[in-house]
Structure 1
């Protein structure tokens, strides 16, 4: 299936061969979020969910236009004049950033992120909320919240200590130091750092490969791994049992076994 859906100036969504490519598209503002962009992002993700239901979308790829991935919140979008009433930042988190990352985490398909430049603040944690993160060698991750007297939102206080441990999470969050893509890979914060000119070809090839794979099993794996952070060992074993039962009843499992026995390439359907 080939499709292109526009949600205005701030988000591009293209669907082809089972891969939905969602591009943050405010390059003149380093793809920082404003209210319009949040609304268009919600609409795009709703279409991705609908595409998963009818099997036209099997993998989601998120990247940014221009020289940056996402600089977080566009501060000019909610600037306050001197002496004015302070904005309710908690309301913004509840309305925009919380549903954004929870939607990504709950999507019943793999979510791949291609970080093509700076990922700062909410932009960094948006990337880290994806299932697999690739970054260009020139890219960087910055927990910029401390520069404004804020805390890491968009799941940052949950994700960072689990991926890096409390010492590194504290240092990044309280100092706001720039973390290079190479260091992010070495620390286990992202999956891979690749040369700039290889980023999109690498990620697009992987997305196309995964879209042809057993995406029902991928979705179950995603759910199980994310659940493990709050489950005890016995609960996780019970979850594995139940998910293995569901996978064993799937078309993809039957097709995978048949293809193996017949020494042919499997034709998975994601169900």
Structure 2
């Protein structure tokens, strides 16, 4: 079972390995007193931690979590107000410096990323969760966009990931009205894979990460790229990209070993190469 970061002041982001499977990394946002609101400190630490696990070939799956009662409630508005007073023209530099690199690191991670949503996932926090490949939520977790309420449009990729997840009509409703919704509705809409009791949510996410870490991680990386490309590309280009990816995967030890294992009626063992 993974350790949960202490709910006290400490590192803004805790990066650790699952005690039972060192190939699973847990990246935990650790500002529970602020509901993991995104200060510059937290954004920088999260960006750097995600880049670190992305580059670490010994990591085969990642869990993104938050301490306390919230997953992440989005931008810290107190800090944002200070930035606006100092100069509105530069107050949104954080989008390019922090938000976009964080989402790119999650979505472009060459390994599966699971969001463990313990509580509120709002604004950019929802964007980070939807950038992950799979999501597990705790009973009582809440979700919302919140941008229109402060006169803004979406960031963190939500204008794309929300549409891909729930369709354009519902995405428009969620972004324009900003009405919050609960874990049960998120499950009904397919935003989360499972809703678990709060005390079981993290262990459920880690168990899912362990399962994926034991799988064909090279194929997973190609699947992630294929989904992203397929969502925005014409069918002929999708077919060509799929064929090229299959050719690359056909040369891997994982593929050859899995075919032989199937013929021998035994469970395959994947090496990630």
* Same fold? TM cut 0.5: yes
Corresponding residue for 1:45?
Answer: 50
CA deviation after TM superposition for structure 1 residue 89, in Å: 4.0
Corresponding residue for 1:18?
Answer: 23
CA deviation after TM superposition for structure 1 residue 18, in Å: 0.6
From 20, 31, 36, the counterpart of 2:36: 31
Deviation track 1:38-61 (CA, whole Å, cap 9, x = no partner) reads 221122122212212xxx100011
CA distance in 2, matches of 1:99, 1:46: 9
Question: Which stretches in structure 2 are left out of the alignment for 5+ residues?
Answer: 3-9
CA distance in 1, matches of 2:93, 2:132: 23
The answer to whether the 8 Å contact 2:54/2:105 transfers is: no
Q: Are residues 73 and 259 of structure 1, via their aligned partners in 2, closer, same or farther at CA, if it must alter by over 3 Å?
A: same
Query: Does 2:248 correspond to 1:243?
Result: no
Corresponding residue for 1:133?
Answer: 135
CA distance in 2, matches of 1:47, 1:204: 19
The answer to whether the 8 Å contact 1:80/1:87 transfers is: no
Query: Does 2:193 correspond to 1:228?
Result: no
Query: Does 2:112 correspond to 1:110?
Result: yes
Deviation track 1:76-118 (CA, whole Å, cap 9, x = no partner) reads 2232399764363431111110111011111111111111100
The answer to whether the 8 Å contact 1:134/1:203 transfers is: yes
- Aligned length in residues: 262
From 146, 165, 168, the counterpart of 1:166: 168
The answer to whether the 8 Å contact 2:47/2:105 transfers is: no
CA distance in 1, matches of 2:212, 2:190: 22
* TM-score when normalising by structure 2: 0.90
* TM-score when normalising by structure 1: 0.91
The answer to whether the 8 Å contact 1:147/1:176 transfers is: yes
RMSD of Structure 2 on Structure 1 (CA): 1.9
CA distance in 1, matches of 2:80, 2:159: 23
CA distance in 2, matches of 1:120, 1:150: 14
CA distance in 1, matches of 2:207, 2:200: 11
The answer to whether the 8 Å contact 1:224/1:240 transfers is: yes
**Partner-residue secondary structure (3-state), 1:20:** strand
Corresponding residue for 2:65?
Answer: 63
**Partner-residue secondary structure (3-state), 2:184:** helix
The answer to whether the 8 Å contact 1:22/1:60 transfers is: yes
